[in-house]
Amino acid sequence: MSDQQRRYFRLTRAERASIERALHRGDGARAIAHDLGRSASSISDEVRTNRTVARGPARGERAGKAPQDACPRLQAWPWMCSVKRT
């Protein structure tokens, strides 16, 4: 492995908790990534992959692919309806 290549490590529970707190503060993917020493794409992918349904009969389940008639905020960062974009 060369000096420029870095081995990928999964996000820890602490990092995931930091991401959640940062999302509720309204931080962007780049700011979160900088704070954690990760790439912005890793943060973005983590948020998109692990978003969950907050209300209704599917509460607590992973949202998966957002339906077309869903909240418009699900189509772009932060892929969550409960967080306002800044």
Backbone angles phi, psi at 19, to 5 degrees: -65, -45
List pLDDT tens digits, range 18-68: 998 998 898 999 999 999 999 999 999 888 888 776 666 666 677 766 666
- Amino acid identity of 53? V
Q: What is the pLDDT of residue 52?
A: 73
**CB count, 10 Å around CB of 15?**
19
Judge contact between 72 and 82, C-beta under 8 A. no
- What pTM did the predictor assign? 0.68
* Coil vs helix vs strand at 58: coil
